[in-house]
Amino acid sequence: MPAHRVVIGVDSSTQSAKAAFTDAGTGAVLAVGRAAHQVGGADGARESDPEVWWRALREAVAAGLKESGLPAAAVTGIAVAGQQHGLVVLDGEGRPLRPALLWNDTRSAPQAAALTEALGGADAWAARTGSVPVASMTAAKWQWLREHEPHTARSAAAVRLPHDFLTERLAGTPATDPGDASGTCWYSTADGAYDPELLGLVGLDPALLPPVAATGAVRVGSLTAEAARELGLPEGIAVAAGTGDNMAAAVGLGLGGAGLLDQPVLSLGTSGTVFAATRTRPTRPSVAGFAAADGTYLPLACTLNCTQAVDKVAAVLGLHRDAAQAGGEVVLLPYLDGERTPDLPSASGLLTGLRHATTGHQILGAAYEGATVTVLRALDEVLRACGLDPADPDVAARPLRLVGGGARGRHWVETVRRLSGRPLLIPQNGELVALGAAALAAAAASGDDPVALAAGWQSGHTAELPPVERDVETWNRVTDVLTRATPALLA
């Protein structure tokens, strides 16, 4: 295989690193190396050592090289897509001062609420940044650090996002992209730059932040001699700016200015995520109005409780995750880690509607239904952020692209199909984030458009499932409980 046709797309997620060795001409994934991350914390804390991410990236690349049988000289570009929002604080030597605060660390919920109020409310934030501070956002985490560990905040010589940290290790120069930067709440999607007033609000010196590349596909540097030695790759290959994991998944699906626009996607993983690429700049407080990796926008809503919460319910009941049945009268809101959408950071799980005839299988089915209704309600808000009416028959009939680990689960697919009433498209390539990162790497090496590249690759089969009649009765029962319970869940 010609050397110039191989690139590496790295998916550095909450739980692991994956390195997809990809043929830049066809999009064929030749090998995927994997290595685990470690996440610690209790009582709302979720933290990881960034050095573990770097070690895992090295291990994943080594494993991918071995699996592929490729010579290292075949690789010509690399890009990292990372978990969004995490706060990485570094000393003057580029070493972490403390473990990174991850996106699902909910301790910063009070700081998020205070920041929202300080700027004049949710609408003011959405107009500036596209998003409203919640516990997940980086600005809230920085504010938490300033209040709880002021010495660490004062000692910081650099502030990075997870993918920024890894990209800088590769290229030796600081860089980020508009997509991941737009998840900080100190970057203005209106201006396409860091917002000086918001940085002042959180007391953050802009000199601590990396420059923002024009897109995630921009070549921000070349693989340094040190990184090349650690990774076993050629020195000088292209390093792309990279992006956040959701932005990379959109690229991998061919969503964006050179591909599909206003087409909904639902990702079923530890979190439930819904998004669409659009040319309309999102300013609805109910969604995260992110920038995309290619210069368009990516309105997105994320729920904290999805497959992991349902698996926990299955474990408590002693059932296999696919042993579920439709919930009947039972409603279970599986908000085991609080919730992000709706914004209920202190919530816990809620079970109601039990009868003598209720079975454990139905309770498990109700967990699926509660998680699915929550994320589909968020999808309606994403569609509105695209300037669409979810009740419009044409919009309601648009296929829903179903991705993530849950898309491989029979009962997840059945529940989404039944409660959405939409046709489902299920790409069989399970590494869309890494594939999107590979497209960014290929674009950095060639100058091509990454979305056009990914759309042209058409890698992997897509299963198509026709719509079924929507289960309106279950939908109404779950949404009614959620509406009535929200005041208590907020308490």
Q: What is the CATH number of the domain that holds 157?
A: 3.30.420.40
Residue 85 annotated as binding site? yes
Name which of 180, 160, 183, 179 is nearest 170 in CA terms.
Answer: 160
| Beta bridge mates, 289 | 299
What domain count does the chain have?
1
Helix (H), strand (E) counts: the chain: 17, 22
SS3 180: helix
Please tell me the distance from the alpha carbon of residue 61 to that of residue 443, in angstroms, as a whole number.
20
For β-strands 462-465 and 47-48, DSSP reports them as: unpaired
Query: Residue 491 has what pLDDT?
Result: 60
Q: Is residue 384 part of a domain?
A: no
What is the C-alpha separation between 247 and 291, in angstroms, rounded? 8
- 457, 432 contact by CB (below 8 A): no
Q: How far apart are the C-alpha atoms of 309 and 305, rounded to whole Å?
A: 5
Please say if 245 is a catalytic residue: yes
CB 460 within 8 A of CB 428: yes
Mapped onto helix, strand or coil, the DSSP state of residue 385 is helix
Could you tell me the pTM of the whole model? Answer: 0.91
Helix, strand, or coil (residue 240): strand
Residue 162 lies in a domain: yes
pLDDT of residue 368: 98
pLDDT for 247-284, tens place per residue? 999 999 999 999 999 999 999 988 899 999 999 999 99
Give me the pLDDT at residue 3, please. Answer: 47
User: Has residue 163 been placed in a domain?
Assistant: yes
Tell me whether residue 148 is annotated as binding: no
> Residues 274, 382: contact at Cβ < 8 Å?
yes
Q: Would you tell me the crossing angle of helices 450-457 and 245-252 to the nearest 10 degrees? A: 50
Per DSSP, what are the bridge partners of residue 302?
273
> 254 — alpha (psi -120 to 50), left (phi > 0) or beta?
left
Longest dimension (CA), the chain: 68
d(CA 477, CA 482): 9
Residue pair 200/186 in contact by the 8 Å Cβ criterion: no
pLDDT digits (tens, 9 = 90+) for 344-366: 888 999 999 999 999 999 999 99
DSSP state of 211: P
What pLDDT does 1 receive?
A: 38
Cβ neighbors of 151 (< 8 A, separation 6 or more) are none
Cis peptide, bond prior to residue 466, ω within 30 of zero: no
Nearest to 429 by CA among 226, 253, 256: 253
Q: Domain of 33?
A: 3-246
Please report which residue ranges of 253-409 form alpha helices under DSSP H. Answer: 307-317, 360-385, 393-396
Q: Is residue 331 part of a domain?
A: no
- pLDDT of res. 5: 86
- Per-residue pLDDT 10s for the chain (491 aa) are 344 489 999 999 999 999 999 999 999 999 999 999 999 999 899 999 999 999 999 999 999 999 999 999 999 999 999 999 999 999 999 999 999 999 989 999 999 999 999 999 999 999 999 999 999 999 999 999 999 999 999 999 999 999 999 999 999 999 999 999 999 999 999 999 999 999 999 999 999 999 999 999 999 999 999 999 999 999 999 999 999 999 999 999 999 999 999 999 999 988 899 999 999 999 999 999 999 999 999 999 999 899 999 999 999 999 999 999 997 899 999 999 888 888 888 899 999 999 999 999 999 999 999 999 999 999 999 999 999 999 999 999 999 999 989 999 999 999 999 999 999 999 988 899 999 999 999 999 999 999 999 999 976 678 999 999 999 999 999 999 999 988 877 66
In degrees rounded to 5, what are phi and psi of residue 351? Answer: -120, 130
The two tokens of residue 286 are: 């109910």
439's enclosing H/E stretch is helix 432-446
Q: How many CA atoms lie within 13 A of 211 on its CB side?
A: 9
* Catalytic residue selected from 245, 262, 294, 337: 245
Look at the chain and count its residues: 491
What is the secondary structure of 47-99 as a DSSP string?
EE-HHHHHHHHHHHHHHHHHHHT--GGGEEEEEEEE-SS-BEEE-TTS-BSSP
Structural domain includes residue 473: no
Q: Which of 258, 455, 297, 340 is nearest to 85 (CA)?
A: 340
Let me know if residue 489 belongs to a domain: no
DSSP 338: B
